[in-house]
Amino acid sequence: MAFPGGPGSSGPQQGGSYPNPQQSGGIRPGPLQSVPGLDLLLLLIIWLGLQKLLPMILLSAPEPGSPGDGARGELPIIPVLMVIGLHSLIMLGATYFIIVKKHGLRLADLGIVLVSKTWVIRSVIFGTLAIPVSGIVAQFLQALSGEPFENPQMDVFLAGGFSPAILITSLLVTGAIVPLVEEIVMRGVFYGWLRARLSVAASVAISSLVFAFLHGIPFLFPVFVLIGAMLALITEKSGSVLSATIAHAVFNIINIASFYWLVQQGIIQSGAG
């Protein structure tokens, strides 16, 4: 993330340019120091409001006996993916108008800067390794609870069958759009704002807790905290939100593709109620 300056710093370099994060060894707090906390709170309220309102407005529960009406009561996956994509696009617009345009910031001020080939490779590796690690944590939590757990995010895919068209749409939405927007908002804005005021450890902890809370799955809260911490540290060390975006995208893509493969192999039953 490209945040210039820092506690005790003199601010932007002469000419208004900021130090290259790849040369300065990580992010440096700067422009987000001028953003009031109320603007971040507004962004959070919009995020949560959209999560509640968009499904109510754009989705409706299937009629009894209709396709997709199972024991879990899931909705058809394509409309759900459209809602997720719309949520992301609205959040991107809200971030631009509330944070970037209102305060005269640049994209680089939110950490949207190019990353080196080395960090691209590292991000792919971190995103891949996060899958078995998060799986182990989830299994540990399930063992502690003593009750079977079904991930509602994955259950949605099973409601009406998991087809190639659904796979492609899922990869586009959850493997590209969602990671980019979530990283801009969560690491570019929230983590960057915290980092302008707090230590790395405190910023990572608080932003990760917010990230987990926004996903709204209590059972997986520790898993999302872990993932959020990894993404925040990647942003911190690489100096760019795009590194975290790559890791986030790899994590989502492998999870969706693996799930699809399990369905195709009959290990997980598609359309099961």
Largest CA distance in the chain: 68
| pLDDT (tens digit per residue) in 106-131 | 999 999 999 999 999 999 999 999 99
Asked if 84 and 173 touch (Cβ cutoff 8 Å), the reply is: yes
Name the band, by pLDDT with cuts 50, 70 and 90, for residue 263: confident
**Residue 87, phi then psi, degrees to nearest 5:** -55, -45
Q: What is the mean pLDDT of the chain?
A: 82
What is each CA distance from 10 to 4, 13, 140, 191, in whole angstroms?
9, 8, 48, 21
pTM: 0.83
Locate 165 and state its tokens. 């068209």
In the DSSP assignment, the letter for residue 120 is H
Name the band, by pLDDT with cuts 50, 70 and 90, for residue 176: very high
How much of the chain exceeds pLDDT 90, in percent?
A: 58
| C-alpha count within 13 angstroms, C-beta hemisphere, residue 48 | 12
Does the pLDDT at position 217 exceed 80? yes
pLDDT of residue 31: 78
Does the pLDDT at position 181 exceed 90? yes
Q: Select the more confidently predicted residue: 156 or 206.
A: 206
Asked if 32 and 193 touch (Cβ cutoff 8 Å), the reply is: yes
pLDDT of residue 54: 92
Name the band, by pLDDT with cuts 50, 70 and 90, for residue 200: very high
Whole-angstrom Cα distance, residue 88 to residue 19?
A: 30
Does the pLDDT at position 182 exceed 90? yes
Whole-angstrom Cα distance, residue 224 to residue 137?
A: 10
Whole-angstrom Cα distance, residue 256 to residue 154?
A: 8
Candidate from 23-37, 86-100, 122-136 with smallest mean pLDDT: 23-37
